[in-house]
């Protein structure tokens, strides 16, 4: 059985992942933004192999979260599920970053760099990344007029490219990104048209499955099928520029 960390596992897709993996007998490390949010996990907490807490919009708390995980021990897989959706304005974090960038991109980047290297990494992206700009000059939205949809789409382009860059550099790790679809979670809303079960099963399959079809790295998935991501995702030059930008913003090197 595998030991798996799931970020953002108090609701939505992360919670669905946790329930499915626990039912299959895996050791699951749950993550909550705060101790108060952790208390919402109820009986699920008792079945888990541990709970780590930290607000992923804060670089300091994200670093502390990585330390908590490493104290528990090496993970077999990490599902980078936590994310924020559309913000009507540019919400600045305690570090001055856009919250969309901080939670959706900087946090998974930092956790990837700081958590002891697992065998498998799964990053949750979105089909909206296909319409994102590949311009990296203002990824923190300090110069441009805020556009919630564009900021979210760009963050998901960046996390998909991060997954591909990790796959290229860490050949001993299976690193993939997943578009779960527009599913009826708190983030997606009750009117979302996609199936919630299909929305989370690909993450579980990639993190803990033994299907030979999932024994790949550097792929972009939707409902257990490989799809073609935006060209920037597999563009080595774009990946390198992105990693350089994230290194500067966080003060932490990944490769």
Q: What is residue 134's predicted lDDT score, i.e. its pLDDT? A: 95
Summarised one tens digit per residue, pLDDT across range 229-247 is 999 999 999 999 999 999 9
Q: Specify the pLDDT at position 192.
A: 46
**Domain ranges across the chain:** 3-250
The larger pLDDT score, comparing residue 51 to residue 187, is at 51
Entry pTM: 0.95
CA distance 97 to 91: 8
Bridge partners, 104 (sequence order): none
Band of residue 181 on the pLDDT scale cut at 50, 70, 90: confident
Core vs surface per residue 175-184: b (16+ CB within 10 A) or e:
bbbbbbbbbb
pLDDT surpasses 70 at 196: no
Query: For 56-91, what is each residue's pLDDT tens digit?
Result: 999 999 999 999 999 999 999 999 999 999 999 999
**Whether the Cβ atoms of residue 55 and residue 84 lie closer than 8 Å to each other:** no
Assigned CATH for 3-250 = 3.40.50.720
Residues labelled as active-site residues: 152, 156
Residue 183 has pLDDT above 60, yes or no: no
Residue 158 has pLDDT above 90, yes or no: yes
What pLDDT is stored for residue 12 in this prediction?
A: 87
């Amino acid at each position: 059985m595998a030991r798996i960390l799931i970020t953002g596992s108090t609701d939505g897709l992360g919670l669905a992942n946790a329930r499915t993996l626990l039912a299959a007998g895996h050791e699951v490390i749950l993550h909550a933004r705060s101790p108060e949010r952790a208390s919402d996990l109820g009986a699920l907490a008792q079945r888990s192999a541990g709970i780590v807490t930290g607000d992923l919009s804060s670089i300091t708390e994200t670093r502390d979260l990585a330390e908590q995980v490493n104290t528990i021990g090496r993970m077999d897989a990490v599902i980078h599920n936590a994310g924020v959706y559309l913000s009507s304005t540019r919400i600045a974090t305690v570090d001055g970053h856009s919250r969309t960038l901080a939670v959706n991109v900087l946090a998974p980047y930092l956790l990837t760099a700081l958590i002891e290297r697992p065998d498998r990494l799964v990053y949750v992206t979105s089909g909206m990344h296909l319409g994102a700009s590949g311009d990296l000059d203002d990824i923190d939205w300090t110069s441009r007029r805020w556009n919630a949809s564009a900021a979210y789409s760009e963050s998901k382009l960046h996390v998909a490219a991060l997954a591909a860059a990790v796959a290229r550099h860490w050949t001993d790790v299976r690193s993939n990104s997943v578009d779960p679809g527009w599913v009826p979670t708190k983030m997606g809303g009750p009117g979302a048209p996609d199936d919630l079960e299909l929305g989370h099963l690909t993450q579980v399959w990639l993190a803990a499955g033994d299907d030979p079809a999932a024994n790949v790295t550097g792929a972009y998935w939707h409902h257990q099928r490989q799809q073609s991501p935006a060209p920037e995702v597999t563009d080595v030059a774009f990946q390198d520029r992105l990693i350089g930008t994230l290194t500067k913003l966080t003060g932490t090197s990944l490769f």
